[in-house]
Amino acid sequence: MHRLRPLACSSVLVLAGGMLGAEPLHLQRGVNGDLWNNWGSIASLQADAEALAVFPDWRRNVTPQMFRALDDQGFDFIRLPIDPGPALAYGPGAEQDRLIEGMHTAAQLALDAGLKVIVDLHPLPRGDEVGGMESILGSHFPDYVALVGRIAARLSDLPSERTALELLNEPSFDCDGVYAGVPPKWPGMQVQLHASARNSAPKLTLILTGACWGQAAALASLDPSLIPDDNVLWTFHSYAPFTFTHQGAGWIDAPVKYIVGLPYPPSLVTPDTARKLTEVATERMTAEVGYGDSETILKEIEAYGDTPSSAVSDEIAVAVTWADQHGIPRDRILLGEFGALHTVDGVTQPPEWYHAFLSDKRRAAEEAGFGWAVLSWSGDMGVAMPDDPDRRLSPDTCRALGLPCGN
């Protein structure tokens, strides 16, 4: 079991803007859970009586022993991604209440295993469909604000020293507000989300983020004084160097989606390596789209090879500077996601590359004083051994993450 930090003071002043004097839960070493088993549209999920019968549906594949194994191996928390889209699409009523109850049940499973838990509201891009990220950030934002308040209210009976609610994962807009000087939309929207959750759950730790997919630069563009609440954590995600962490990912743009076999660290890329990897990537691209842009692929690989060793920690340094400038204690900053795709089309890269990356990113976060959550628990980006019934980590992966199970 893991020790909990006490509140900073015995009395807590509750204001309209939040809680002054409260201390958020302390998170150190975590893992991101699964999101969906069935990745269908919301309409198809609602049309299938079984699809949402258990919510979130990953509960069908996760056992209490799996959660206990995480605690045994040295993780102190799990970030549980839960898509709020179906609940938003249903609207207030019995079906929405049932899905919110499923969120509560999922959190309780982790708590019962001795873990702290983040309920991460993690919508998907779904185009025009109500409940997707686009609708949440658009015309249905007022409905989402109300939904967040209802979710927070239901979670409010969970132990506040072990539970947190993340209001929205990776808001996928407002990059111009971060990088181009355009008046940003997200800060004011996040104020509304925070108020809705805080009014419903006065003691629950809330997790806040920047726009533009939760990048460190987006976090650094925020004015934290807009939300005068001590019982919050601030989060960002870091997948740098991106060409390594997302090589071969089918959901990424060319040419990275066609590149496989890139080593880590980047200094391992030699001219001969670049040539061979370009040939493979060009063949992969040709097989999919009918032609191969070898010139662009080679430039991407060579640029990766020239990546300085500091790239793995540069985004963490951005968050450090922001926190220090605003007097935010470092332990209230969370690297909420980092990881790498290590298996593509059933082929797994040499594990030493993956482990070296995990170790470097994890060490950088810890040296900064940040908690972290690796992505993900299972699958092609997962830290768990694929054939282990309890989803345990290998000793080498444990060592890369600095966990006691590596001793």
Residues 6+ apart with CB under 8 A from 79: 30, 31, 32, 33, 117, 118, 120, 166, 336, 337, 373
Phi, psi of 163 (to 5 degrees): -130, 140
Closest CA to 127 of 42, 244, 241: 42
DSSP strands (E only) in 149-188: 163-166
Looking at residue 253, the DSSP 8-state letter turns out to be: P
| Cα(376)–Cα(35) distance, integer angstroms | 10
Percent of the chain with pLDDT over 90: 93
Rounded CA separation 254/383 (Å): 26
Q: What is the pLDDT of residues 54-92, one digit of tens each?
A: 999 999 999 999 999 999 999 999 999 999 999 999 999
C-alpha distances (whole Å) from 300 to each of 19, 162, 274, 307 are: 47, 43, 10, 11
Decide the pairing of beta strands 13-15 and 18-20.
antiparallel
Residue 373 parent element (H or E): strand 371-374
> Checking DSSP bridges between strand 333-338 and strand 371-374, what pairing results, if any?
parallel
Each residue's pLDDT tens digit, 323-345: 999 999 999 999 999 999 999 99
What would the mean pLDDT of 99-112 be, rounded to a whole number?
A: 98
Q: Position 303: which residue type?
A: A
Q: What pLDDT score was predicted for residue 300?
A: 98
The pLDDT, as a whole number, for residue 406 is 66
Handedness of CA 228, 230, 231, 232 (dihedral sign): positive
Q: How far apart are CA 328 and CA 250, in angstroms?
A: 38
Residue 312 pLDDT more than 50?
yes
φ, ψ of residue 381 to 5 degrees: the values are -115, 10
Q: What is the mean predicted confidence (pLDDT) over 204-228?
A: 98
Q: Determine the 3-state secondary structure of 41 from DSSP.
A: coil
Q: Is the pLDDT of residue 5 over 50?
A: no
pLDDT of amino acid 22: 74
Q: Rounded to an integer, what distance in angstroms lies between the CA atom of residue 240 and that of residue 252? A: 14
Averaged pLDDT, 335-357: 97
Q: Is the pLDDT of residue 14 over 70?
A: no
CA-to-CA distance for 244 and 283, rounded, in angstroms? Answer: 19
Task: Write out pLDDT tens, residues 15-38.
Answer: 434 456 578 999 999 999 999 999
Q: What is the CA radius of gyration of the chain?
A: 21
Tens digit of each residue's pLDDT (9 = 90 or more) over 229-287: 999 999 999 999 999 999 999 999 999 999 999 999 999 999 999 999 999 999 999 99
Q: How much of the chain exceeds pLDDT 70, in percent? A: 94
Listed in sequence order, the residues at least 6 apart from 101 whose beta carbon sits closer than 8 Å to its beta carbon are 154
What is the pLDDT at residue 21?
Answer: 59
* Overall average pLDDT of the 127-142 stretch: 97
H-helix or E-strand spanning residue 376: none
With a cut of 80, say whether residue 8 has pLDDT above it: no
Q: What is the DSSP string of 255-323?
A: TGGG-----SSGGG--HHHHHHHHHHHHHHHHHHHS---HHHHHHHHHHHHT--TTHHHHHHHHHHHHH
pLDDT of the residue at 15: 40
Q: Is the confidence at residue 7, as pLDDT, over 60?
A: no
Q: List domains and CATH numbers for the chain.
A: 13-241+313-382 (3.20.20.80), 259-305 (no CATH)
State the DSSP code for 393: B
Peptide bond into 56 cis (omega under 30): yes
pTM above 0.85?
Answer: yes
pLDDT at 314 over 50: yes
Among 111, 63, 58, residue whose Cα is nearest residue 82: 58
Length in residues, the chain:
407
Contact (CB, 8 A) for 216 and 236:
yes
pLDDT at residue 82, rounded to an integer:
98
Element (H, E) at 200: helix 186-200
pLDDT averaged over every residue in the chain:
94
Which pLDDT score is estimated for 23?
Answer: 85
Structure tokens at 63: 């056992």
